[in-house]
A and B are shown apart, each in its own frame.
Chain A
Amino acid sequence: MKSRWLLWLPLALFAGLAVFFIGGLQNDAPRVVTSALVGKPLPAFNLPAGASDRPALDSREYTKGKPRLLNIFASWCVPCAAEAPQLMALADAGVPVDGIAIRDARADVDDFLARHGNPYAHIGLDARSQVQIALGSSGVPETFLVDGEGRILHQHIGDIRAEDVPGLIAKWKAAQ
């Protein structure tokens, strides 16, 4: 019978599906939405100051020839408090860190910084997530590494753990 092979087609299709499922189970990397702007220039923005003792944040800060970290955070976000010590460590290692506080109020940010430390050189206030959206960031906290010409080199999604710090410092050094 010429259509004999047809009878085995369902099994073949199922085998394909099974291989695919097995592959899917192996892949336990967290699925995150990465910004499509990595490798592209930082969008222009100009935000008002997010804390009372730090200057405001302008995107022109990133075209002054020195790579910087741009941290997206919020006083109401729990993982942001958890990553605060790592940001302090980065700042202590000489990496310039700026912050953008998302949907926040200056008093709350001040309070947050008083409790968890203040690693930021500049802090911008993004009350309506507009800059966050323009950056292609999908949550808090996130951290971008921007080179001296204002190009986004790297995006770190989620809180920075202690083990991430050396890698970030290396990346920052390489960008110089």
Chain B
Amino acid sequence: MIAELGLAALWMSAALAALQLVLAGGGLWSGKKAVAEKGALLSGVRPVAVAQGALVTLSFLCLLLLFLRSDMSVALVALNSHSAKPLLYKFAGTWGNHEGSMLLWVMVMGLAGAAVALFERALRHDTHVATLGAQAAISLGFYAFLLFSSNPFARLNPAAPDGQGLNPLLQDPGLAFHPPTLYIGYVGLSVAFSFAVGALLTRNVDAVFARAMRPWVLAAWVMLTIGIVAGSYWAYYELGWGGWWFWDPVENASLMPWLAATALLHSVTVLATRDALRAWTIMLAVIAFSMSMVGTFLVRSGILTSVHAFAVDPQRGSFILALLLIYIGGALALFGARVGTVREGSQFEPMSRESLLVINNLLLTVILGVVLIGTLYPLMTEAFGHQVSVGPPYFDRITGPLALIMMLAMVAGPLTRWRKDKVGVVAGRLLWPLLIMIATGAVLFVLGGERMSILSFLGLMVAGGVALGSIAPLFKRNLRRTPLFVWGMVVAHLGCAVSLAGMAADSAFTSEKLIAMAPGEKVETAGWKLHFDKVGPIAGDNWSAMQADMTVRRGGSVDIIHPQSRFFSNPPTTTSEAALLTRWNGQLYVVLGEQLDDGRWQMRIWWKPFVTLIWYGGLMIALGGVLTLIGRERRGWALKLRKSHAQEEWA
């Protein structure tokens, strides 16, 4: 019954989305002039959006319940779950598959639509209605996708005796919550997209509109940041080769929306503050959402997968592509037709904060273009019968220098005034960061700069200067009176420096030791003494493992670590669980490999100085976003509260 209830709720929410679209579209079509009617229209659309959000949530909860109860009469559960799986992974199994993740997607979208309907107050009524209409149109496409080609509630007759299990690599607490984070980010971008479409339809692109759109962009960006950081750390510790980013198509698919969102975040601030970059901000909102759809398409259609790919459904790819064509093609056509009537705003002084933000946008967009082309390039050459690989050597070489230049603009931006500033004055403010950068460079050079790659060297050098430069906006300020959104910016920019330092330090200073060891043997590497005490089998929830005990010493400290090689039976897979020992100045990373003929065990030992800074920096960037969001919106919330209080008193 639960499955049928879920399916019914899904159909009803799809019907409500259609109603929402018709109401909004019809209303806007008929009464072009009467603004007062728009208010009435809005009150008509609002409850529909809220009901849609509630019903689709109910549908998702039904699926969740089916997974928790291991109802093997539902095909999706039987294919992706197993009754002996720990509860957390039954829970996470709900979205660990195509259908479930799409349902999660539409649920978040429905909830976001309800939130836009309920809480948005500043936007002009007609733009608000148009935004809700656009949001309904997007949802409708995804509902159709679910209902016509990926029904999550399909029954299995007869029911399976038990499920096939969830891929063991995915049975990891960190990864269980990685996809929802990314989806919330993607959906946030879809809201920004709906805002952009709504604004184009009603020819209403101004600072007020930008301030209404900004929190959605910020929230989406925070979630994307967290999603990428979590995904990268998961790959780092779970896949057992010590790498944290490989410019893999799937990784690129998640990076591209983030790059666009980062650019959008900064251009929307220019629009909100200076009422400029109107067309460009609209364009970026379209690009950001299209990148999340392009990413989804690339990953799910399987057109990028190469040898020994696993079966991907071409029908799914066609469906997503059709949605992509309708939404993005439609939005870009609307852009071409309408944006000419939107005044772009005044020109900029070359030495002003907005100019530096424009440079930031330019560089981010170029990096985005490079990642997109680089990801698709092998596919393009294949059309000419030539197989090539585009990987880290290319991406590092192109995006690295661009990112470093962008970092410099990032330091200069907050230290430059809006509208107009004097070159000499800005240079004066940049003096200390520059000196620190040069000093860092000199110290590194003396310490052995010739041993590291030029990119790591420059990375560390720039990180030093950017670290100081990003906190410089706080100098000579009363820290308690500094607005929260300034703190947010400072923390996020500092996070960039921290992350950059971690990336550069990892590639410059990592030491690797591969060795075959028998229990009782010891090895010394990078200042660590490791003693291989013993190795033996242990059993876990739904796995068994060979686990090594190793005593590791450095300085006065002694620790015991347990690298494992895990065997899962449903489905049969082996994973290596690296043992990570975190110190303030880096991580010791030990992997237990296979046993050799002579009884020794293959070990891989890395000492990665300051590698953790990569993810700490990433989290700081996200935290900065949260602080800015609170700082910017708090005033609005307070105002709203006061208003509603006043209304109550009046009543």
Q: Which residues of A contact B (CB under 8 A)?
A: 1, 4, 7-8, 10-11, 14-15, 17-18, 20-25, 27-28, 31-34, 138-139
Q: What residue in chain A is nearest B318 (Cβ atoms)?
A: A25
B residues less than 8 Å from A139 (CB atoms) = 307-308
24 sample A-B contacts, Cβ–Cβ < 8 Å, listed by A number: A10-B286, A10-B332, A10-B336, A11-B329, A11-B335, A14-B329, A15-B329, A18-B325, A20-B380, A21-B303, A21-B324, A23-B383, A24-B303, A25-B303, A25-B314, A25-B318, A27-B303, A31-B305, A31-B307, A31-B309, A32-B307, A34-B387, A138-B307, A139-B308
Q: B328 to A14, Cβ gap below 8 A? A: yes
Q: A33 to B307, Cβ gap below 8 A? A: yes
Q: What residue in chain A is nearest B309 (Cβ atoms)?
A: A31
A residues less than 8 Å from B383 (CB atoms) = 23
Q: Is B333 an interface residue (CB 8 A)?
A: yes
Q: A10-B283, A14-B328, A21-B321 are in contact. Are A31 and B335 (CB under 8 A)?
A: no
Q: What residue in chain A is nearest B321 (Cβ atoms)?
A: A21
Q: Chain A binding site: helix, strand, loop or mixed by DSSP?
A: helix
B residues less than 8 Å from A11 (CB atoms) = 329, 332-333, 335-336
- C-alpha spacing A114/B279, complex, angstroms: 73
A residues less than 8 Å from B314 (CB atoms) = 25, 28
B residues less than 8 Å from A7 (CB atoms) = 279, 335-336, 339-340
B residues less than 8 Å from A27 (CB atoms) = 303
B residues less than 8 Å from A8 (CB atoms) = 336
Enumerate B279-306 residues with CB–CB distance to A below 8 Å: 279, 283, 286, 290, 294, 297, 301, 303, 305-306
A residues less than 8 Å from B279 (CB atoms) = 7
Q: Is B23 an interface residue (CB 8 A)?
A: no
B residues less than 8 Å from A18 (CB atoms) = 321, 324-325, 329
Residue in A14, A17, A23, A138 whose Cβ sees the most chain B Cβ within 10 Å: A14
B residues less than 8 Å from A17 (CB atoms) = 294
Q: How far is the CB of B546 from chain A (nearest CB, A)?
A: 21
Q: How far is the CB of B384 from chain A (nearest CB, A)?
A: 12
Q: What residue in chain B is nearest A36 (Cβ atoms)?
A: B387
Q: What residue in chain B is nearest A31 (Cβ atoms)?
A: B306
Please name 15 further chain A to chain B contacts, defined as beta carbons within 8 Å, in addition to the given A11-B332, A18-B325, A34-B387, sorted by A numbering. Answer: A1-B340, A7-B279, A7-B335, A14-B329, A18-B329, A20-B379, A20-B380, A21-B297, A21-B301, A21-B303, A21-B324, A25-B321, A28-B314, A31-B307, A139-B307
Q: Is B376 an interface residue (CB 8 A)?
A: yes
Q: What residue in chain B is nearest A5 (Cβ atoms)?
A: B336
Binary contact readout B470-491 vs A (1 if CB under 8 angstroms, 0 otherwise): 0000000000000000000000
Q: What residue in chain B is nearest A29 (Cβ atoms)?
A: B382
Q: What residue in chain B is nearest A9 (Cβ atoms)?
A: B336
A residues less than 8 Å from B308 (CB atoms) = 139
Q: Is B519 an interface residue (CB 8 A)?
A: no
Q: A4 to B376, Cβ gap below 8 A? A: no
- C-alpha spacing A168/B279, complex, angstroms: 61
A residues less than 8 Å from B379 (CB atoms) = 20, 24
Q: A7-B339, A28-B314, A33-B307 are in contact. Are A14 and B321 (CB under 8 A)?
A: no
Q: B324 to A10, Cβ gap below 8 A? A: no
Binary contact readout B306-324 vs A (1 if CB under 8 angstroms, 0 otherwise): 1111000010011001001
- C-alpha spacing A162/B583, complex, angstroms: 60
Q: How far is the CB of A30 from chain B (nearest CB, A)?
A: 8
Q: A4 to B324, Cβ gap below 8 A? A: no
A residues less than 8 Å from B286 (CB atoms) = 10
Q: How far is the CB of A7 from chain B (nearest CB, A)?
A: 5
A residues less than 8 Å from B329 (CB atoms) = 11, 14-15, 18
Q: A33 to B387, Cβ gap below 8 A? A: yes
Q: What residue in chain B is nearest A34 (Cβ atoms)?
A: B387
Q: What residue in chain A is nearest B339 (Cβ atoms)?
A: A7
B residues less than 8 Å from A138 (CB atoms) = 307
- C-alpha spacing A34/B328, complex, angstroms: 37
Q: B321 to A22, Cβ gap below 8 A? A: yes
Residue in A7, A20, A31, A32 whose Cβ sees the most chain B Cβ within 10 Å: A31
Q: What residue in chain B is nearest A22 (Cβ atoms)?
A: B321
Q: How far is the CB of A90 from chain B (nearest CB, A)?
A: 25
Q: What residue in chain A is nearest B334 (Cβ atoms)?
A: A11
Nearest 7 pairs between A and B by C-beta? A11-B332, A24-B303, A8-B336, A7-B336, A31-B306, A10-B332, A25-B317
